[in-house]
Amino acid sequence: MAEKPVDLARARVLITNDDGVAAPGLKLLESVLLPLAREVWVVAPEVEQSATSHSLTLRRPLRIRKLARHRYAIDGTPTDSVLLAVTELMQDRPPDLVVSGVNRGGNLGEDVTYSGTVAAAMEGTLLGIPSVAVSQVYLDGRPVKWATAEKWLGRIMKRLTGAAWPPGVLMNVNLPDVAARKVTGIEITRQGRRKIGSDIARGTDPRGEPYYWIGAQRREEGYHRGTDLEAIGRGAVSVTPLTMDLTHAPTLARLRGVFK
């Protein structure tokens, strides 16, 4: 699977998400991939698992619920879903491609470190399968422009699978919050910076105890050119190749000098 393009027309594709098996984005992803791929398997969490990151369920057993042919729900996380799909449900022949999404909401900048959507693609990558995370950006309280993902996703998937990428690398795709016809193009970007958690609501619960509730608002700043955030802000589709190796090479080299 190393740096070999995926032949989508012959591919067995596993799709999953972190919004749950009944989420509209998963249905959309399936409808886009069904005409393009030979086989599409759905293995996704029973209930929403957004922001569960790359968590694995270790302290209780997992159950697989068969919904239909090639369609299963897992009472666990996105990572559990990919792991059980590959090692149990599809063990006769592993998937050629894992696609996670379409997430309701962007996964931009530091979001990728919290995201269950991206983590599912990470799990696929760790299992040696080319993997793609897909997210549709939207503003809280506004309708999600699913038509944008629907219109652009087939094109993006065809071009991505035709390009090969090395093992240990996954693709993070985000669609902008604009109408399909207003999308300016597809841009290859780097991970930007925008920390979540700047608005924490504080209150008192019915028993008089204080509580804290992390909101969705991010500190919006000027974004650097060439980043996912900046491209999305201009109405472009953003494609970011991410790596599972979190080592920072320049610091590694410098510290080796310091600790010599």
Binding site for Mn ion (CB under 5 A): 18-19, 50, 103
Cβ at position 216, least distance to Mn ion in Å: 12
Cβ at position 62, least distance to Mn ion in Å: 20
Question: Which is nearer to Mn ion, 103 or 161 (by Cβ)?
Answer: 103
Task: Render the burial of 134-173: b for 16+ CB within 10 Å, e for the rest.
Answer: bbbbbeeeeebbbebbbbbbeebbeebbeeebeeeebbbb
Question: Which is nearer to Mn ion, 25 or 130 (by Cβ)?
Answer: 25
Tell me the chain's radius of gyration from C-alpha atoms. Answer: 19
Residue nearest to Mn ion (CB): 50
Question: Which is nearer to Mn ion, 18 or 123 (by Cβ)?
Answer: 18
Cβ at position 47, least distance to Mn ion in Å: 11
Cβ at position 154, least distance to Mn ion in Å: 22
Question: Which is nearer to Mn ion, 161 or 174 (by Cβ)?
Answer: 174
Question: Which is nearer to Mn ion, 8 or 232 (by Cβ)?
Answer: 232
Q: Is 68 exposed, middle or buried (0-12, 13-18, 19+ CB in 10 A)?
A: exposed
Say how many residues make up the chain. Answer: 260
Cβ at position 107, least distance to Mn ion in Å: 8
Question: Which is nearer to Mn ion, 17 or 189 (by Cβ)?
Answer: 17
Q: Which tokens in the block code for residue 168?
A: 């240990």
Cβ at position 221, least distance to Mn ion in Å: 24
